[in-house]
């Protein structure tokens, strides 16, 4: 049996060699005396050339009857042709239709006829056949692989925390309740409590890449109700230590994609610049001082403790023009586990910002059980509901810090995409739970 080759594994220097290719019929062009069939696989395209006077008539008839997007096997001879994709063509000796495609197609994979995002998501299996869409998910794979390697190299241990939980991670109502046998439970908002418990277990440095669920009624181009979070927690460090780790990871991800995904970036028609470290740091106070000086009707006067709106983020991003941190947020604006500084009104916390939006949030954590309990109570929550979490703090909890980074937002901003749904195989938002 002849081994299958991907289109990207063949080059013009193989002229005269036999090859077996498998893939989809991307396009058929009949120019009278010659016919071309463009085969597509995950690596790219191959031109199958049928010189009508030289080819087996039966083989030509088979090719003429094949519908676009049918799955085929082609066996033939490689021949150099500078005009063809990748500089070669295949002169076929046999074609087998493995599975014919129905017609008409739900969308045009050649891109000659555009389609709205909803139409594309309804037929995602076909949308991803388009090279520029497939490129996004090849880059997503690269980002995930690089992240895992980076964290392993920095001494982190991968963990898996539960996604069905008994209580809210951060309080509030942004929870998806589920029926868990005879009682109520929730889909996890974050692995936060469990990764902190692992600091008390002595794992020292942990990471997880997993889905998180937020029942927030946001219908925007940058929000999802099911997203992928990259989370870390580390013992015996402070919030500056984990900020340095985060900025180094971001720079490493950009470098990895720029150097390892050249074809995918080309398919998307973009190039990317690797951000320079260290990233600029501005305090929350500096941020609101600047914003309160703006003569912009979309930015009303910000009171101490306010969260920053999208308009505020855009203005700061325009000013700074690169990745940056907003540090030292008001204690009351951050979750109960965030450690206050010597000034109890200010927390040891940060948000990582891209000029377009927030990417990550992190902090130094409270590790003393009495302070943590009082903060839970001050937030209007019942400490008894967090007993499984607090118990770990009564038996030797080291100082620790960590962050959570939104994978989809990293990809969206890196690739200059307009809608976060572009970087998710099957996005889940307020309106979409299928496919």
* CATH number, position 36: 2.40.50.140
The residues that bridge with 280 in the sheet, in sequence order, are 324
Same domain, residue pair 201 and 256: yes
**Average predicted confidence (pLDDT) for the chain:** 95
Q: Is the model's pLDDT at 2 over the cut of 60?
A: no
Q: For residue 169, what pLDDT is reported?
A: 66
Q: Is residue 432 part of a domain?
A: no
**pTM for the whole thing?**
0.94
Give which of 71, 89, 73 is closest to 17, Cα–Cα: 89
Q: Is residue 85 part of a domain?
A: yes
Least confident among 68-77, 160-169, 184-193, 234-243:
160-169
Same domain, residue pair 95 and 141: no
Q: How many CB atoms lie within 10 A of CB 288?
A: 21
Q: Is residue 108 part of a domain?
A: no
Same domain, residue pair 64 and 197: no
Q: Is the model's pLDDT at 333 over the cut of 80?
A: yes
Three-class DSSP category at 35: strand
Same domain, residue pair 32 and 179: no
User: Which residues carry out catalysis?
Assistant: 214, 216, 222-223, 358, 361, 409
Q: What percent of the chain has pLDDT over 90?
A: 89
Query: Which residue's entry shows tokens 């031109």?
Result: 47
Q: Which domain does 22 fall in, by range?
A: 7-99
What CATH code is carried by the domain that includes residue 226?
3.30.930.10
Q: Is the model's pLDDT at 362 over the cut of 80?
A: yes
For the chain, helix (H) and strand (E) counts, in that order, are 12, 16
Mean pLDDT of 267-272: 97
Mean pLDDT of 88-111: 96
Mean pLDDT of 177-204: 96
Q: For residue 295, what pLDDT is reported?
A: 75
What are the tens digits of pLDDT across the range 221-255? 999 999 999 999 999 999 999 999 999 999 999 99
What is the domain count for the chain?
Answer: 2
Q: Is the model's pLDDT at 376 over the cut of 70?
A: yes
Give which of 271, 272, 266, 273 is closest to 132, Cα–Cα: 266
Same domain, residue pair 138 and 66: no
What are the tens digits of pLDDT across the range 41-84? 999 999 999 998 888 999 999 999 999 999 999 999 999 999 99
Q: For residue 298, what pLDDT is reported?
A: 76
Mean pLDDT of 152-158: 98
Q: For residue 1, what pLDDT is reported?
A: 46
Same domain, residue pair 336 and 371: yes
Rg (CA), the chain: 27
Rounded Cα distance, 402 and 364, in Å: 7
Same domain, residue pair 355 and 246: yes
Least confident among 41-50, 172-181, 214-223, 374-383:
172-181
Which tops the pLDDT comparison, 170 or 121? 121
Q: Is residue 113 part of a domain?
A: no
Rounded Cα distance, 104 and 267, in Å: 26
> CA 173: distance to chain centroid?
26
């Amino acid at each position: 049996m002849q081994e299958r080759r991907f289109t990207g594994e063949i080059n013009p220097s193989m002229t005269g060699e036999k090859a077996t290719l498998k893939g989809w019929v991307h396009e058929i062009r009949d120019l009278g005396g010659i016919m071309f069939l463009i085969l597509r696989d995950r690596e790219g395209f191959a031109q199958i050339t049928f010189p009508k006077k030289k080819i087996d008539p039966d083989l030509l008839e088979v090719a003429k009857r094949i519908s676009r997007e049918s799955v085929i096997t082609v066996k033939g001879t490689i021949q150099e042709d500078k005009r063809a994709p990748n500089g070669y063509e295949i002169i076929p000796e046999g074609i087998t239709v493995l599975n014919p495609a129905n017609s008409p197609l739900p969308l045009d994979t050649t891109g000659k006829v555009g389609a709205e995002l909803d139409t594309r998501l309804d037929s995602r299996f076909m949308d991803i056949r388009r090279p520029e869409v497939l490129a996004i998910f090849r880059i997503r794979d690269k980002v995930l692989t690089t992240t895992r390697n980076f964290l392993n190299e920095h001494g982190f241990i991968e963990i898996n925390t539960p996604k069905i939980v008994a209580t809210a991670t951060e309080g509030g109502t942004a929870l998806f309740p589920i029926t868990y046998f005879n009682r109520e439970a929730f889909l996890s908002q974050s692995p936060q409590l469990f990764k902190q418990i692992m600091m008390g277990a002595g794992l020292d440095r942990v990471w997880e890449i997993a889905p998180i669920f937020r029942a927030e009624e946001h219908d925007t181009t940058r929000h999802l109700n099911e997203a992928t979070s990259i989370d870390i927690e580390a013992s015996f460090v402070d919030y500056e230590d984990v900020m340095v780790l985060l900025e180094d990871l971001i720079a490493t991800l950009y470098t990895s994609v720029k150097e390892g995904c050249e074809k995918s970036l080309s398919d998307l028609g973009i190039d990317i610049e690797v951000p320079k470290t260290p990233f600029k740091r501005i305090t929350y106070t500096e941020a609101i001082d600047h914003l309160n000086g703006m003569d912009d009707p979309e930015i009303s006067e910000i009171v101490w403790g306010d969260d920053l709106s999208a308009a505020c983020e855009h203005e700061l991003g325009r000013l700074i023009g690169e990745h940056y941190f907003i540090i030292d947020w008001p204690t009351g604006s951050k979750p109960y586990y965030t450690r206050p500084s010597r000034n109890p009104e200010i927390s040891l916390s940060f948000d990582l910002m891209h000029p377009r939006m927030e990417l990550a949030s992190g902090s130094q954590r409270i590790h003393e059980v009495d302070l943590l309990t009082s903060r839970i109570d001050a937030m209007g929550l019942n400490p008894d509901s967090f007993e499984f979490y607090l118990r770990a703090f009564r038996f030797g909890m080291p100082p620790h810090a960590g962050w959570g980074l939104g994978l989809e937002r990293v990809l969206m901003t890196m690739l200059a995409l307009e809608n976060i749904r572009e970087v998710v195989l099957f996005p889940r938002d307020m309106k979409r739970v299928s496919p």
